[in-house]
Amino acid sequence: MAELVDYSGPFDPDFSYDRFTKETLLKLIRSHAEYVRRIDGQWYLAVMQECGNDAAFACDAIVWEKLEAYTMKTTSNLLNIHGDDVVTLIKALQANPWSSSYKFNVDLINNDHAIISFINCPTLLALERDGSGREMLICNKLEVRLMELKAHYFNPNMIVTPLKLPPREPNSEICCQWELKVERNR
């Protein structure tokens, strides 16, 4: 059976994603990542409107702490990403379902040391447009905790150091920057 580039043809009672081309599946992955990102934002705003920002942030932190553990476990198991070095974490970050929404560069110093610079973050852009300063709470508290959780999934001794966090300098290309390091007993 020919691979499909879309679903414009007749109804297929035996529909299956495995009939689509790789390119179409990649578009779906990107679309679903954006969908989840938007659900997160809209959910947060709805709770904030009904219960206030403190309640929204507290709920958001609980949800994301659980989801990060799930994401690291699922991604690493599905793609056989295992190890205890920084490279292992970076591979999991690259394969994370959210990675298609964010752009980051990696300066790999060695397998146990890297600098990651996020240069496109739709969440930060939305928070900056909002102008209420919520990026200080979300980026400087929650994201720090979440990056630590991701790192510690692979190695509880991995050191996560935020080098640059919002607010950004005017015209800065970097949304946030992290140093990831494992110090081995030599």
Pairing mode, strands 176-181 and 113-120: antiparallel
**pTM for the whole structure:** 0.89
For 22-71, the DSSP string reads HHHHHHHHHHHHHHHHHHHHHHHHHHHHHH-HHHHHHHHHHHHHHHHHHH
Q: How far apart are CA 182 and CA 178, in angstroms?
A: 13
Rounded (10°) angle between helices 86-95 and 143-154: 120
Q: Where are the domains of the chain?
A: 57-181
The closest alpha carbon to 2, from 12, 26, 30, belongs to 12
Structural contact between residues 137 and 56, judged by C-beta atoms closer than 8 angstroms: no
The neighbouring-strand residues paired with 113 are 110, 181
> Under 8 Å CB-to-CB from 176, ≥6 apart: which residues?
117, 118, 121, 124, 139, 143, 162, 164, 165, 166
Cα–Cα dist 16/59, whole Å: 35
Give all strands of the β-sheet with 113-120 in edge-to-edge order: 103-110, 113-120, 176-181, 159-164
User: What are the pLDDT digits (tens) for 27-67?
Assistant: 998 898 889 889 999 999 999 999 999 999 999 999 999 99
For residues 177 and 181, what is the distance between their CA atoms, to the nearest angstrom?
13
Residues 59-111 pLDDT 10s: 999 999 999 999 999 999 999 999 999 999 999 999 988 887 889 999 999 99
pLDDT on residue 85:
98
pLDDT at position 98: 80
| pLDDT tens digit sequence for 109-122 | 999 999 999 999 99
3-state secondary structure (DSSP) of residue 176? strand
How far apart (Å, rounded) are the C-alpha atoms in residues 150 and 92? 9
